[in-house]
Structure 1
Amino acid sequence: MRFRPFTRLAGAGLALLVLANGPAAAQSDFDLSPEQPGRPHHERVAAAVDAVPEGFAFVRPGYLTVAVNPSGGPPIATYATDAATVIGADPDYASLVADSLGLKLDLVPVAWADWPLGLTSGKYDAVISNVGVTEERKLKFDFSSYRQGLHGIFARKGSGIGRIAEPKDIAGLRIIVGAGTNQEHILLEWDRRNLAAGLKPAELQYFDNEATGLVALRSGRADAIVQPNGQLIFIAARDGNIERLGTLSAGWPERSDVAIATRKGSGLADALTAATNALIKDGSLQRALDRWQLGEEILPRSQTNPPGLPKF
């Protein structure tokens, strides 16, 4: 594996970056307005309401208080064109879950680093913010799964690279990836296997920010980019000059679940799992994810505390 000098990707600025680089171009594919007329709603689900522990005290009576990190970027969660309203697939899902419990939604924007302490200290009832289930996190939180974590592998249109589905497909390629991410961890393992098989090494490239990396990709200085699938789907719709070559499970070779996080032992997870399964069964969650072009990531059923990724 050959390396270029690198710094960590500046992911915290992604939401502002993608909007600043041309929201109008993505409007035909994504509604970034604060009004969100297409946001789905749902009726009360008796099984979910009945699963809430007797005497459970919600942070705000009559509301489901949910923390979300808007800096993850569209289509997962971002700020609307008014720079104040949080929108995206996770806010839509949070709204559906609140409806299912017969509650209103109180969506609280938080920094990614702040949600664990805020949740354990009782500031929120739940966190719905693209949180992947790990065995380490399960020691401190309960989870209700709703989506699988996928990474997208994209290249400039017309690159001629072909489909990327297994380790041998990256041999000899120059790939942009975030330092310290699990997608980097997976690519390193793929490259190790390729080298053991006598194939050409891949070259991982790291950039200060996403915009610089995309310029390198479009100019031919890099062959592919690997990031969370939703982020690259949005960029492809916005810019029109990159295309997907494949997807990669965030837990390769296993499936990686994304889930609602709740306080450990609070008892709320089973109610959220019941609500999610009702949303899956009647197609509401599918429609919500389709709205943000994430329909392929839906799980066949929600589980409370499913198997999580091991620490690496």
Structure 2
Amino acid sequence: MTRRSAFRNVLLGALASAFAMFGTAYAGDAFDLSREQSGRIRAQKNEAAIAAIAKDFKFVTPGKFTVAVSPGGPPLATYATDAATVVGADPDYASAVADSLGLELELVPVAWIDWPLGLASGKYDAVISNVGVTEQRKEKFDFSTYRQGLHGFFVKSDSVITSIREPKDAAGLRIIVGAGTNQERILLRWNEENVATGLKPLELQYYDDEAASLLALSSKRADVIVQPHAQLVYIASRDHNIKRVGTLSAGWPDRSDVAIATKKGSGLADALTTATNGLIGSGVYAQILNRWHLSEEALPKSETNPPGLPKS
């Protein structure tokens, strides 16, 4: 390696690090990703929720609410600027539920693929990590809902598209979507409906990564990007060049909710549902969602084991 090429590699590495730090700081204008989390919303003890805990339920660690979370990315759950502390909307919500139960929160970072086995084997009391309710999952776990499962329609900030609410609104549009995702499944049904009624078909586009998708949108090679709503909320706040024009339920045409998962029959689910409804009633729930720019995903009430996505 020549001295010039070595210097070039060092310079590129330094620039990459600088841009990464700048991106985090820029997003920090809207989202607090610090370890301290001084703005975290706390809750009062909820005696009704405590009373709803089954008498024979034993917490993994006495006095603590042990919760698994997968740090998949902001604003739901990610590592803070110290690269060790997990922060985000789900950790905030877990903290408020722990407060409601009069317990100390113990967060356990896990890989997404590992949470079902860990929960079934009793490694933690609950999973709060954007888990959607499905009929298949309900065979092994109980659920207490706490957010709507939404996908977002986002466009360039200067786009003439102002609203996408139903299939006809998307007719003829070039839409970026992930292959094999639930979003793609729904959009293919939208396309069938549009074509059957004589409207222009949707043009679905697929890219290998997020950066390529966003570049296609910014360069006007695509009109719309569809991803999980929370992800796009964060990107919009970070980049300031895309905007939301609609949301899509993950269970379209029905609603599909995100829930706390607990071991089936453990006796904790009803207590967590009661705790969540207490947070909704007190306003703490709305404050948490607003803090992470997710007010669109609010539920009017929590339910235990509602209908979930059907088995495929």
Fold conserved between structures, TM > 0.5:
yes
Q: Distance in 2 between matches of 1:255 and 1:188?
A: 18
SS of the equivalent of 2:136 reads: helix
SS of the equivalent of 2:271 reads: helix
SS of the equivalent of 2:130 reads: coil
CA shift, 1:55, in A, is 3.1
Q: Distance in 1 between matches of 2:56 and 2:311?
A: 36
CA shift, 1:57, in A, is 1.2
Residue matched to 2:55: 54
SS of the equivalent of 2:94 reads: helix
Residue matched to 2:99: 99
User: CA, structure 1 residues 19+258, in 2 after alignment: closer, same or farther (shift >3 Å)?
Assistant: farther
Matches within 5 A, 1:115-126: 115-126=115-126
Q: Distance in 2 between matches of 1:174 and 1:20?
A: 33
One-letter identity of the residue aligned with 1:48: A
Residue matched to 2:4: none
Between stretches 86-95 and 25-34, larger displacement belongs to 25-34
CA shift, 1:162, in A, is 2.7
Q: Does 1:169 align with 2:161?
A: no
Residue matched to 1:206: 206
Residue matched to 2:290: 290
TM-score, normalization by structure 2: 0.92
Q: Does 1:36 align with 2:37?
A: yes
Q: Distance in 2 between matches of 1:19 and 1:254?
A: 39
For the aligned residue pairs, the C-alpha RMSD in angstroms reads 1.3
Between stretches 123-132 and 25-34, larger displacement belongs to 25-34
SS of the equivalent of 1:287 reads: helix
CA shift, 1:48, in A, is 0.8
Q: Distance in 2 between matches of 1:287 and 1:38?
A: 11
Cα deviation, 1:214-245, whole Å, max 9, x if unaligned, reads: 01110111111001111111111110101111
User: CA, structure 1 residues 89+115, in 2 after alignment: closer, same or farther (shift >3 Å)?
Assistant: same
Q: Distance in 1 between matches of 2:249 and 2:215?
A: 26
Q: Does 1:234 align with 2:234?
A: yes
Residue matched to 2:16: none
Q: Distance in 1 between matches of 2:269 and 2:162?
A: 42
CA shift, 1:19, in A, is 6.2
Q: Distance in 2 between matches of 1:235 and 1:20?
A: 15
SS of the equivalent of 2:266 reads: coil
Between structure 1 and structure 2, the one with the greater Rg is: 2
4+ runs deviating over 3 angstroms: 18-21
CA shift, 1:306, in A, is 0.9
One-letter identity of the residue aligned with 1:159: S
TM-score, normalization by structure 1: 0.92
**Identity across aligned pairs (percent)?**
69
SS of the equivalent of 1:53 reads: coil
Q: Distance in 2 between matches of 1:132 and 1:239?
A: 28
One-letter identity of the residue aligned with 2:269: A
Residue matched to 1:249: 249
Residue matched to 2:88: 88
Q: Any gaps of 5 or more consecutive residues in structure 1?
A: 1-17
Matches within 5 A, 1:122-271: 122-271=122-271
Cα deviation, 1:255-283, whole Å, max 9, x if unaligned, reads: 11110000000010011111111111111
SS of the equivalent of 1:130 reads: strand
Q: Distance in 2 between matches of 1:58 and 1:278?
A: 21
Count of aligned residue pairs for this structure pair: 294
CA shift, 1:44, in A, is 1.3
Q: Distance in 1 between matches of 2:21 and 2:156?
A: 21
User: CA, structure 1 residues 74+208, in 2 after alignment: closer, same or farther (shift >3 Å)?
Assistant: same
User: CA, structure 1 residues 20+167, in 2 after alignment: closer, same or farther (shift >3 Å)?
Assistant: farther
Q: Distance in 2 between matches of 1:259 and 1:162?
A: 31
Residue matched to 2:13: none
CA shift, 1:26, in A, is 1.4
Cα deviation, 1:100-150, whole Å, max 9, x if unaligned, reads: 111101101111110000100111100000011111111110000111111
Q: Any gaps of 5 or more consecutive residues in structure 2?
A: 1-18
